[in-house]
Structure 1
């Protein structure tokens, strides 16, 4: 095992992005070889400086008033993890830059089926299991992660960003807390996003749904940046608590965009610890919040570094819907993610929702946007490829593709079960991983070879596969608790007051067949040849919020094995009626996989894995 003490690697040429030095704090041998030789895990800190007078930095809110060093620059420190081949000769020229999600590494869990007991173990990259299938390590790619948000939880291997404090600035702001979903149900304190400003004028309210009027709740201050119920009582799980208070000391959080931009550019242009690895292509990957970050990054022009050079050649944004991140604003809260029940009136959606045709080929990346059924129901994903009023499909835009992973929930990845948790219906276990693996290969070929990826595959108005939510719910088979509708998508008028316009944009959802399964998008073999109904929505089980959509969850309702075993009222044919023999089921699975391999939407090894899975289901057909 290799370990080094902290080493400072200095910038060698002034032409590089504005990381002024990289401080390497540890170097550890990765404990497995997937085919491209040994790998090393490098931890460190990138020290950067920003010139507030540079036009490329002008979009960063409050950068102009941030404290500066003696050279007139604004400093930041970003924690960095790099996983790279130990032997430069084994490097394939690809740098995969995963934008962290609240400081966490998601790449190997969502794309490569890594499954460990907790996120800290995934963050650590200390075991063979932490990289799952390990495909990038078999190919010789390098991977990097960096901190871009100062507010991510400390510990657990989360990567953080340090930026200056705008000391003395105050404002009245609003925080929201939902225990049991976004916060632990057992927590007895509510963490405030910012320190309280004296005098600590604060109001705490509670309601069960956003349709109800909030009622005042007694509380007590539990420190400079926390409150609790009197005597440390437990908060009601599922209820919406809102604290309105005088806050102080914001930070220019938009520096996070510049930090990611500068670190990616530093590494691709030979900055340590990549000086011996010539980079041919940089692929940005973002999952959920990080996908919204990448949409925002491109919108702000952050894909050109301070020298005007392209940063990411290609971007894969997964489960971002039509949103962006609430970060580039004074007293912003980038951890927010708006859904029907939680964070409903925090900024996430603003015009334009869809990618425009004005792509700059010199600096803008090639983009693949991938969404699940959940993003159509809760995150306005349909608005990424329709007009805002949903009266027309938008034409394919040069340099961009869109895909729906049909029948999948927001967090769909390997190892998920059907236990309902706090939801009313059994949960959806379907994984988007096989499609994401194929699409990252396609993105790589687009970037490095100029080979276009598969055409977009999403539901469309033109063929009747993109419809109002009422159409789906009105014809859905009577097999599950149904949601009240699609989550409204609209700009936020005043996030402190929590106000939105009465009428927003018009998100539509994928049409379904008689079983309730989606008809359009990418139907992976276990959705094309299903053993049940898979949805991207679910409902909470608790009585006080029983009609509220369960936070970004899905449902799975299995088919009965035989028609005689069908539940009363279930109109769906049984497994035996669809595939009288296991051989028929295996043949259908093999054919569905072959079609996707032909269309470059599934890798051959994953098609084979689906067939093996079908072969392992013999018990379904046994008497």
Structure 2
């Protein structure tokens, strides 16, 4: 086990190298590590002190353990470091995530980035920003990283936003604060952000030049099924996140601007009590309380934001809210998905004002062909990767009619 670099036998294995790098480089990294820890020990209480940063082989990855001291208390941070199969030909880049996920990681590795996952969940909320800013700032120099991207959601996304000076680019989901310039960022959020007990902070003005905002229409962050009345809205956000990560990577590496924001502005929102919901059998009542939410179409689906192919050509009504099955049980954090009837006769048996699938699309062949057109358009707009477009079309071939 080594600090900064993991040692196999007598050779050093820095983040991007799979071949022996020589004892001279190992000694240099050890020297930088010692200087790093010594310099951090001098900072004041408003900073994080990095006591150790160690890696060891763990299968194809590296296991990571860091110890950070904040306000006199030491915290252990565990994680993993995954290396790209092919070291990058250009400047070295790193993606830092705060939660393990396969939504973006494989794509980052494919694009030549190393991926460092650090679980900062044991740190107090107010300490996460300090840890990310000060620790990452020093690791960047010690590891000779040219570009650092970050990805997080919720309170971790807020911490990354506060520590934005340590990053070149950020992909943030459901953050209540945005990074300061010049750090480039892409912010995303889903339907549940408007309907939860404490709705998200509204950003109804245009994003600044260093940022983009994408509302993932009809997608709920949680797919937990516990204590929910209606079927769960399980639409994945991963296809959008992959495309947006690729855009962020290109933006920070080559300076190529990402697609324009797709998020509700003031005119796209309405008081929740003003929405005209169709009388859909089985649709839970929307949560009470004053809030502004995205406007809906005749099916009850959201009209603004980034509409992925399965919402642009829907087979159901997708909401960001559900309802508790047992009022004494835990809250239902998921959204709801109320499928369209397959045929007109099915729809009339259980009165449903929404046109049935056959009424809408006629045949599966038409549905598949239209799905291809919609998906390919998003690919051209750089809002969907080709492999995800193909996956939507493949799924359309199994449409329930």
TM-score tier after normalising by the smaller chain length: 0.7 to 0.9
Candidates 422, 428, 437, aligned match of 2:227: 422
Helix, strand or coil at the partner of 2:77: strand
Name the structure 2 match of 1:292.
Answer: 158
Aligned CA-pair RMSD: 3.1
The yes-or-no answer on 1:542 pairing with 2:326 is yes
Is it true that 1:262 corresponds to 2:151 in the alignment?
no
Instruction: After TM superposition, give the deviation of residue 371 of structure 1 in Å.
Output: 0.6
Residue pair 1:17, 1:265 contacting (<8 A) in 2 also: no
Q: Secondary structure at the match of 2:83?
A: strand
Tell me how far apart the structure 2 counterparts of residues 486 and 445 of structure 1 sit (CA, whole Å). Answer: 42
Counterpart position of 2:215: 404
Once the two structures are superposed, the pairs formed by residues 276-291 of structure 1 within 5 Å of their partners are 278-291=144-157
**Where is the helix percentage greater, Structure 1 or Structure 2?**
2
Structure 2 unaligned spans of 5+: 1-5, 13-28, 41-48
Number of corresponding residues: 367
What is the CA-CA distance between 1:529 and the residue it aligns to? 0.5
Q: Secondary structure at the match of 1:144?
A: strand
How far residue 470 of structure 1 moved from its aligned partner, in angstroms, is: 0.9
Q: Check the 8 A contact 1:317/1:367 in 2, yes or no.
A: yes
Distance 1:282 1:569, change over 3 A: same
Match for 1:434 among 239, 246, 265?
Answer: 239
Cα deviation for residue 445 of structure 1 reads 1.5
Task: Within 5 Å, give how 1:106-125 maps onto structure 2.
Answer: 107-108=101-102, 111-112=103-104
Query: How has the CA–CA distance of structure 1 residues 532 and 14 changed in structure 2, closer, same or farther, with 3 Å as cutoff?
Result: closer
Match of 2:168 in 1: 313
**Is the 8 Å Cα contact of residues 233 and 335 (structure 2) preserved in structure 1?**
yes
Q: Look up the match of 1:586.
A: 368
The question of 1:469 aligning with 2:272 is answered yes
Asked if structure 2 preserves the Cα contact closer than 8 Å seen for 1:477 and 1:516, the reply is no
CA gap 1:80/1:544 in 2 versus in 1, 3 angstroms: closer
Contact 2:86–2:112 (CA under 8 A) maintained in structure 1: no
Q: CA deviation at 1:283?
A: 0.8
Which residue pairs with 2:112 in the alignment?
140
Q: CA deviation at 1:375?
A: 0.6
> For the Cα contact (< 8 Å) 2:37–2:51, is it kept in 1?
no
For residues 252 and 332 of structure 2, the distance between their equivalents in structure 1, rounded to whole angstroms, comes to 35
Distance 1:519 1:399 in 2: 26
- Residues 288 and 482 (structure 1 numbering): CA distance in 2 closer, same or farther, change over 3 Å? same
Matched, 1:28 2:58: yes
Check conservation: 1:42, 1:82, Cα contact below 8 A: yes
Aligned twin of 2:188: 370
Change (3 A) 1:82 1:286: same
Whether the 8 Å CA contact 1:370–1:403 is kept in 2: the answer is yes
1:427–1:553 contact (8 Å) kept in structure 2: yes
> What is the alpha-carbon distance in structure 2 between the residues aligned to residue 605 and residue 87 of structure 1?
21
Tell me if structure 1 keeps the 8 A contact 2:279–2:353. Answer: yes
Shift of 1:355: 4.5
User: Using the alignment, how far apart are the partners of 2:230 and 2:243 within structure 1?
Assistant: 31
Which position in structure 2 is the counterpart of 1:452?
257
Q: Displacement of 1:144 after TM fit?
A: 0.9
Deviation of 1:25 (Å): 5.1
- The question of whether the paired residues in 2 share the 8 Å contact of 1:515 and 1:533 is answered with yes
Note closer, same or farther for the CA distance 1:556–1:13 as it changes in structure 2 (3 Å cut).
same
Q: Deviations over 1:102-157 (max 9, x none)?
A: xxx2x31xx25xxxxxxxxxxxxxxxxxx6xx22222221011224343xxxxxxx
| Corresponding residue of 2:298 | 514
Q: 1:24 to 1:409 in 2, by over 3 A?
A: same
Question: Residues 125 and 159 of structure 2 are in contact (CA less than 8 Å); yes or no, is this contact kept in structure 1?
Answer: no
Gaps of 5+ in 1: 31-40, 51-62, 68-73, 113-130, 151-160, 162-251, 304-309, 323-353, 387-393, 489-506
Q: Distance in 1 between matches of 2:318 and 2:88?
A: 45
